[in-house]
């Protein structure tokens, strides 16, 4: 059977920007570009980027911002049952995000599984 497995979480993006607003905007754009790049080369079938909050302000001039950006990533997997699909899908998402080089990835909860 085919299933979709989704995970919601956040990643940290570090960058140099002039203000909180531009830092959040640029971090969101960078994460969007990264997730979009995963689609053709991984099992990722869909993604969304949500809110961004400044995680750490610059400590001194010319120091970078660290921004926490929320995301949801979905993969499509083939498995015998929902439990197997959850395990396969969670591993696929972890591998894809790791290969993308995302920093500080944490998840909001367990993966969500649904049948196609």
pLDDT (0 to 100) of residue 102: 94
Residue 8: predicted pLDDT: 98
pLDDT number for residue 27: 98
CA-closest candidate to residue 15, choices 82, 52, 66: 66
- Give the residues of the chain that fall short of pLDDT 70: none
pLDDT at 61: 87
pLDDT value for 22: 97
DSSP state of 68: E
Distance separating alpha carbons of residues 92 and 110, to the nearest angstrom: 14
What 3-state class would DSSP assign to 65?
strand
Q: Which domains does the chain have, with CATH numbers?
A: 2-108 (3.30.70)
Element housing 21 (H / E): helix 20-38
Model pLDDT, residue 2: 96
| pLDDT of res. 29 | 97
């Amino acid at each position: 059977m085919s299933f979709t497995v989704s995970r919601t979480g956040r990643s940290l993006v570090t960058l140099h920007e002039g203000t909180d607003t531009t830092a959040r905007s640029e971090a969101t754009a960078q994460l969007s570009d990264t997730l979009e790049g995963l689609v053709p080369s991984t099992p990722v079938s869909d993604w969304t980027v949500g809110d961004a909050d400044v995680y750490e302000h610059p400590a001194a001039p010319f120091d970078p911002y660290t921004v926490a950006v929320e995301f949801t990533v979905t993969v499509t997997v083939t498995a015998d049952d929902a439990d197997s699909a959850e395990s396969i899908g969670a591993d696929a998402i972890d591998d894809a995000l790791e290969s993308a080089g995302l920093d500080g990835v944490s998840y909001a909860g367990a993966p969500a599984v649904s049948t196609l």
